[in-house]
Structure 1
Amino acid sequence: MRPLLSLALAALAACSLGAAGPQVGAGANWTNPGGDAGKTHHSALAQITPANVGALGLAWQAELGTMRGQEATPVVVDGVLYTSGVAGRAYAFDAASGRPLWAFEPEVDMQVNRTTCCDMVNRGVAVARGKVFVASLDGWMYALDAKTGAVVWKSDFIENRRKGDNSTGAPEVAGDVVVIGMGGAEYDVRGYVTALDLDTGKLRWRWHVVPHDPKLGPQERPELEAALKTWDPNSRWDIGGGGAPWDAINYDPETGYVLVGTGNGGPYATSKRSPAGGDNLYLGTLVALDPKTGRMVWHYQETPGDNWDFTSTQPMILTHLTIDGKDRSVVIHAPKNGFMYVLDRRTGELLRANAIVRTNWAKGIDAKTGRPLLNPAEADYTDGPKIVFPATTGARNWHPASYDPATGLYVGAVLDMGNLIFMTPGQKPARARALNNDAALIFTPDVKAALDTLPAPMAEAVRRLPAYQEALRDPGKAQIRAIEPLTGKTVWAADTLGWQDRGGVLTTASGLTIHGGVDGRLVVRETATGKVLKEIQTGTPIMAAPMTFMAGGVQYIAVAAGWGGGGYPFVPRYSAAYTRGNMNRLLVFRLGGEAVPIPDLLPPIEVAPEPPAQAADVTAETIARGQGLFFNNCAICHANQPRSITPDLRRMQPGTHELFRQIVLEGALVAGGMPRWNDVLTPGDADAIHAYLIDLQGKTRADELAKQKAGKPLDGPSLTILSNY
């Protein structure tokens, strides 16, 4: 790590912390990534106000030494700021001055990169008993000495390392255990959460999301025997079922339960995963577990029989609401599926459920049964392509929202967009540690242009879909919205630059809403109205949620900056990463601070270099086979865009071409994050992929030379297509 510090010189603007009374939200300390026990991402601090926020500037910054996604919200305890970064790195700073105290980098098996669909991110640390807990990308929990960063213990929490398991979430301390989930549902995993002893790291319990193959004997827990009845006995147990709980784990001290949101099914289509249908418990579900034993107390399935990658892993907020004249302990949850749910967190009783975006997979939620009113005519793509709202990117995703008790508003990033989804016929053999979703996704902003790339009969079928005209009329938009939790009504909405421009949110007791943008802005709004009060251009994309703390009588606001996450290779043209690169930074602000140093502009894009000649035996069929292999295995990481944060393979240099087999099959670049594929791809497969890329590079070069001659930009827009087709 190479910290770059700049201390603020201006004097402190003095003001009160607010009226006397019980504190709501985080105080001087921000004790977990969500701030307080309810993870409301709300602060009781009020030194920075609408009246003085114009004086907000940089107090200090630290370069994190990486160039991938930053999704963690820092934690501050007693004047020390702790945060995590790429692949499970951890850092500690003096919170007031930015003086680095220690940095930790785990030894990560980069083969796990094959199963991290959505970048090498990490969403934060937990702090308890003098230790900082952080999970590495490859599934090791580290307990670090909070003062020195030294490893106190490390524990392997991956159940089966021959599968596609990985870890990107923040640990959660629940009594005397630390609880962690895992990711990889698009691959070949059977989801689970793990509880480790806080003092020793020993396994205390593990809770599985989906049953195992009944032919293997009794299930691990009674609730899994019950779940088995909701699955076809002949389900695709070889693929695992999915359900990975990669985020959204909350310990509720009021009830003593650990609340967990579970992931999507694998493969995506219910008809392939569980051919006879069924709810497929506990996919797309909120579950309450006893942290001492892992016993399930209650569950509520938000998306029965998930067919659309509608995870329930989006952040939860625990609070109290007055409902029908009674004070209720509730969990507010807005998962991918487009509805906002309010549940009793003691019992799991559904109290409210309202759509917050367009939803055509379901017509609503039955208030009596709690079940969605499914709409298979528009959303079941078993027999042909469908345009489904919301998209698999989710109405809400990992970007934390905030709940402001003064206004009663839930403020967060919302995406109102759909996608075309289709699959190939027939069952496919399971692929170890490789994509098994068997679905192609084309987001509605790209659907019209994509029809020219699809087979004519499929394109015509898409044009006849009821949702096609809707997709043309309103392809989608991302917004920061303030929503009433009990009605789903939007009080105000602020458009962002594009569907990839989403970020986490902080609210404060002084009436401020603070969030970032992938164009590099830190934006401060009035919570009640959404009015912009202050914008600070940082030159680095901001997706993570800001937080705030007090140190030495001064209120600070901190946020991690760096583009990444889902769809990370597709860097949007409006992103600061596109124009200025993706230098990961931690930015800390205070009243009277300085201007933020802006990274230099990137150099102009150059024409793709001349590729080598094709091998003598390469045919059109070879190139077509290579294209299919590329989209099945490589395209999820390689966008082939000139500003992608992964290599643009249309611009390979001669040395890369010469070593292509060694890179793909033997792991010549594993240290740089490129895994080896010799267990999935044959030498002939690697050669076919290489032939396709040589052909693509030649076409790209010819196209860019023509653009250059005509004075046109070289970086024309491209379709965003995520495919296993």
Structure 2
Amino acid sequence: MGARFPGAGSFRAIILAAGCGLLLASCSNNANPAAHDATASDNPDNWTGYGRTAGEQHFSPLTDINDGNVGRLGLAWSFDLDPGNAVSAPVAADGILYIATGYSVVRAFEAATGKLLWEHDPKAARAAGRKLRQGWGIRGLAYSDGAVFVGTHDGRLLALDAKTGKERWSAMTVSADDGRYITGAPRVFDGKVIIGHGGADVADIRGYVTAYDARTGRQLWRFHTVPGNPADGFENKAMEMAAKTWSGDWWKYGGGGTVWNAMTYDPGQKLIILGTGNGAPWNHKIRSKGEGDNLFLASIVALDAATGAYRWHYQVNPGESWDYNAAMDMQLADLEIGGARRQVLMTAPKNGFFYVIDRTNGKLISAEPYAHVSWASRIDTKTGRPVETPGARYPDGQRFTMWPGPIGAHSWLPMAFSPRAGLAFIPAIEMGATYSDAGIEKIDWKRTPGMVMDGGTFPDFAVNDPARRHGSSELVAWDPVRQKAVWKVRTLGPWGGGVMATGGNLVFQGQIDGKFTAYAADSGKPLWRFDAQAPVLAPPISYRSKGRQYVTVLTGLGTSGASYGALIPVRADYRTQARRVLTFVIDGTAKLPPAEKADLTPFDDPDFRADPALAQFGALQFANHCGICHGGGAVGAGQAPDLRMSAIVPVGEAFTDIVRGGALVDNGMPRFEELDDRTIEAIRHYVRSEAAVARGK
């Protein structure tokens, strides 16, 4: 059993469970020829949005690289990136490749040669203030009509000139001190650009999305995903309807429901479709007195694209209480189901069920588990509601082992859908957790001040079980018509990379061990593999420039995976890991330089003498403030330095200058100005203790 502390959130629970030991002694393919991309880009040579098309299929129809010649795929060029998050999706248009990494640093390259054309740094880390304590940097960007769009951690939405990188306009989408921040990619549709935000695990906030005029930056409309205080009135009839599904003084907690990742546009229905987040706090008993469905949490919500007016919704987890958000990518397709062509939306959210939904009305067509599920026996197709397992809501402080755990059976890294194969390809996760809220005061509950995450429940990972410690993952080829797996490939650790499918009968995915692999889409047979010398988690893209098809992917371990710390079975050193842009082409001959060997030697600390009580207090404070970036158990996983190897830690004055003084804010290290000397010294003492353990002392 891992350590448990009040108010644990998902990544904090990972951090505590992983690191606070000192506190506790193939079947045949069923390709459907009727399946096609109803929202294909006009130009298959380009990849202009996060999922290429408005329907977010993460599918390129190009066939120049295919299952017959992919063995000849070679490196065309590479570009070394600065430290910072590189787990983001590029876009490409008219022979130019655009990437956003770190805290929204945007670069443009000549796609065929890798020549850097321009770079734009919005200085978001310094502008973010306390918002920097949550989130890990940007996940993607968008291109449309000569402009590149990107969000920033401090909440701006920027439009950059695609030729020069100069700012065309900037819109502040959040308030300065509200806890909201942006890590997701904007989407562009019908001359508009839309952005959401994160923050519901950090602050008492109410989710919303905002649409702007893509040319001018003028705000067009805003849709809140959960209702506010009824005494203030409701913005629209949808919020009035949603309020009837809440109880108590929910608005005091914000409610949550942030749209931090998934958005999909259906041009046929003129719908912008949102995937909404979990509740704030997670615990339904605190948030809403354990009553009501709490719309529109953990829901798929369709809005009129022109006005932002509510059209329909489907809620995957009524009364959500486990961080089972519906923020994973959603893909559109037309499928032949039961002898009729259906316009569908497909999604594989965290809760472990694969959903096929009629996107014209939001009605459930089918849902079946694609991973191990313990919280529900099935989804009732008549009502659309899950049939929950008794005890799943951890009643009366009881413990319940949930599969999937709060990491989910599918994280934010996207799946892909191939209309050629008729299959979805899911980077699936197998990892459970035990939930309980014993010891939490559920009346007049308040977030613990300064805590990075606080969900009002205790998810506990079985990290001391060798068979389950690191979890497992698979690339699953899923038939959405028959609702069953066609093939599976086991992948390393608890987290596989984002997925891309192509018209050449190929599926590309990277792994945390640095393998970037192309599989046959119809069989799962590995056809090509490249050693990237660093974890490959970012979703790949494919496009054509000067008559040749290219594949591009970014390397480096960052974002939420860095929080896993000791749960990650490979080491990715913050300072030396190879964060790069890799671009491939048939018969490419470029080579990577020899891999730099990381020095993972713990710092020398001959004068250190452990104080168990101080280390125990420091472990809790490290989990509350530091582990989300520096890794569970002080085991760094690449987003920030492994502090056990940092020569700064033994020097108290320098450590304090960074933690409280903000000396490294520009590097993404937030300032914790409220921490007193005792707390800072306890954190430092804990890290020194863990370094001593790593040295074998």
TM range (shorter): 0.7 to 0.9
Pairwise CA RMSD: 2.7
Provide the TM-score with structure 1 as the length reference: 0.84
Deviations along 1:224-282, one digit per CA (max 9) or x if unpaired, are 111111111323x3331111111111121111110000001121111111114211111
Report if the CA contact (8 A) 2:574-2:639 is conserved. Answer: no
Residue 249 of structure 2 aligns with an amino acid whose one-letter code is: N
Q: Which residue of structure 1 lines up, in the alignment, with residue 459 of structure 2?
A: 441
Q: CA offset at residue 494 of structure 1?
A: 0.3
Residue among 474, 482, 490 paired with 2:477: 482
2 CA distance for matches of 1:566 and 1:601? 24
Q: Which residue of structure 2 lines up, in the alignment, with residue 213 of structure 1?
A: 229
Residue 115 of structure 2 aligns with an amino acid whose one-letter code is: R
Residue among 21, 24, 32 paired with 2:49: 32
Aligned: 1:663 with 2:678: no
Report if the CA contact (8 A) 1:210-1:242 is conserved. Answer: yes
Residue among 540, 557, 561 paired with 2:555: 561
Say if 1:581 and 1:283 are closer, same or farther in 2 by CA, change over 3 A: same
- Summarize the alignment of residues 107-256 of structure 1 with structure 2, pairs less than 5 Å apart: 107-110=123-126, 112=128, 115=131, 119-158=135-174, 160-188=175-203, 189-215=205-231, 217-235=232-250, 237-256=251-270
Report if the CA contact (8 A) 1:385-1:421 is conserved. Answer: yes
Residue 546 of structure 1 aligns with an amino acid whose one-letter code is: P
Residue among 487, 501, 508 paired with 1:507: 501
2 CA distance for matches of 1:700 and 1:210? 45
Say if 1:204 and 1:391 are closer, same or farther in 2 by CA, change over 3 A: same
2 CA distance for matches of 1:418 and 1:564? 22
Say if 1:623 and 1:496 are closer, same or farther in 2 by CA, change over 3 A: closer
Residue among 389, 394, 408 paired with 1:380: 394
Q: Which has the higher contact order (CA 8 A, sep 6+)?
A: 2
1 CA distance for matches of 2:471 and 2:683? 33
Q: CA offset at residue 447 of structure 1?
A: 5.0
Deviations along 1:647-673, one digit per CA (max 9) or x if unpaired, are 334445367411444433332332222
1 CA distance for matches of 2:36 and 2:650? 65
Residue 670 of structure 2 aligns with an amino acid whose one-letter code is: P
In percent, how many aligned pairs have the same letter? 35
Q: CA offset at residue 512 of structure 1?
A: 1.1
Q: Which residue of structure 2 lines up, in the alignment, with residue 46 of structure 1?
A: 63
1:231 is paired with a residue whose SS is coil
Residue 289 of structure 1 aligns with an amino acid whose one-letter code is: L
- Summarize the alignment of residues 385-396 of structure 1 with structure 2, pairs less than 5 Å apart: 385-396=399-410
Say if 1:311 and 1:606 are closer, same or farther in 2 by CA, change over 3 A: same
Q: CA offset at residue 626 of structure 1?
A: 3.8
Say if 1:397 and 1:118 are closer, same or farther in 2 by CA, change over 3 A: farther
Residue among 117, 120, 139 paired with 1:101: 117
Residue among 614, 619, 632 paired with 1:627: 619
Deviations along 1:141-197, one digit per CA (max 9) or x if unpaired, are 111111111101111001x32221111111111213210010112111211111112
Q: Which residue of structure 2 lines up, in the alignment, with residue 605 of structure 1?
A: 600
2 CA distance for matches of 1:699 and 1:84? 34
Report if the CA contact (8 A) 2:125-2:132 is conserved. Answer: no
Aligned: 1:412 with 2:426: yes
Number of residue-to-residue matches in the alignment: 652
2 CA distance for matches of 1:367 and 1:213? 33
Aligned: 1:638 with 2:630: yes
Residue 385 of structure 2 aligns with an amino acid whose one-letter code is: R
1 CA distance for matches of 2:37 and 2:300? 28
Q: Which residue of structure 2 lines up, in the alignment, with residue 518 of structure 1?
A: 512
Residue 45 of structure 1 aligns with an amino acid whose one-letter code is: L
Provide the TM-score with structure 2 as the length reference: 0.88
Q: CA offset at residue 544 of structure 1?
A: 1.4
1:87 is paired with a residue whose SS is coil
1:155 is paired with a residue whose SS is strand
Deviations along 1:343-365, one digit per CA (max 9) or x if unpaired, are 11111111111111121211111
2 CA distance for matches of 1:655 and 1:447? 30
Of 422-431 and 297-306, deviating more is: 422-431
Unaligned runs of 5+ in 1: 1-18, 450-471, 708-725
Residue 291 of structure 2 aligns with an amino acid whose one-letter code is: G
1:332 is paired with a residue whose SS is strand
Deviations along 1:23-66, one digit per CA (max 9) or x if unpaired, are 9856212221212232211122111122211111011112232x
Residue 520 of structure 1 aligns with an amino acid whose one-letter code is: G
Deviations along 1:480-539, one digit per CA (max 9) or x if unpaired, are 010011333111000011113x11112122211111111111101111110011111111
- Summarize the alignment of residues 198-597 of structure 1 with structure 2, pairs less than 5 Å apart: 198-215=214-231, 217-235=232-250, 237-380=251-394, 383-423=397-437, 424-427=439-442, 428-431=445-448, 434=451, 435-444=453-462, 446=463, 448=465, 476-500=471-495, 502-570=496-564, 574-575=569-570, 577-578=572-573, 581-597=576-592
Residue 162 of structure 2 aligns with an amino acid whose one-letter code is: A
Residue 524 of structure 2 aligns with an amino acid whose one-letter code is: G
Q: Which residue of structure 2 lines up, in the alignment, with residue 5 of structure 1?
A: none
Q: Which residue of structure 1 lines up, in the alignment, with residue 27 of structure 2?
A: none
Q: CA offset at residue 302 of structure 1?
A: 0.7
Residue among 684, 694, 698 paired with 2:685: 694
1 CA distance for matches of 2:680 and 2:580? 36
Say if 1:623 and 1:404 are closer, same or farther in 2 by CA, change over 3 A: closer
2:559 is paired with a residue whose SS is coil
Deviations along 1:268-327, one digit per CA (max 9) or x if unpaired, are 111111114211111000001112221111111111111110111101111101122111
Say if 1:294 and 1:623 are closer, same or farther in 2 by CA, change over 3 A: same
CA radius of gyration, larger in: 1
1:487 is paired with a residue whose SS is coil
Q: Which residue of structure 2 lines up, in the alignment, with residue 58 of structure 1?
A: 75
2 CA distance for matches of 1:84 and 1:208? 27
1:425 is paired with a residue whose SS is coil
2 CA distance for matches of 1:390 and 1:579? 29
Q: CA offset at residue 99 of structure 1?
A: 1.6
Deviations along 1:407-442, one digit per CA (max 9) or x if unpaired, are 211112011221123334204423567433233333
Report if the CA contact (8 A) 2:333-2:343 is conserved. Answer: yes
1 CA distance for matches of 2:271 and 2:424? 23
Residue 539 of structure 2 aligns with an amino acid whose one-letter code is: A
1 CA distance for matches of 2:460 and 2:234? 38
Q: CA offset at residue 634 of structure 1?
A: 2.5
Q: CA offset at residue 586 of structure 1?
A: 1.1
Of 689-698 and 296-305, deviating more is: 689-698
Q: Which residue of structure 2 lines up, in the alignment, with residue 465 of structure 1?
A: none
Say if 1:656 and 1:644 are closer, same or farther in 2 by CA, change over 3 A: farther
1 CA distance for matches of 2:396 and 2:583? 49
Q: Which residue of structure 2 lines up, in the alignment, with residue 677 of structure 1?
A: 672
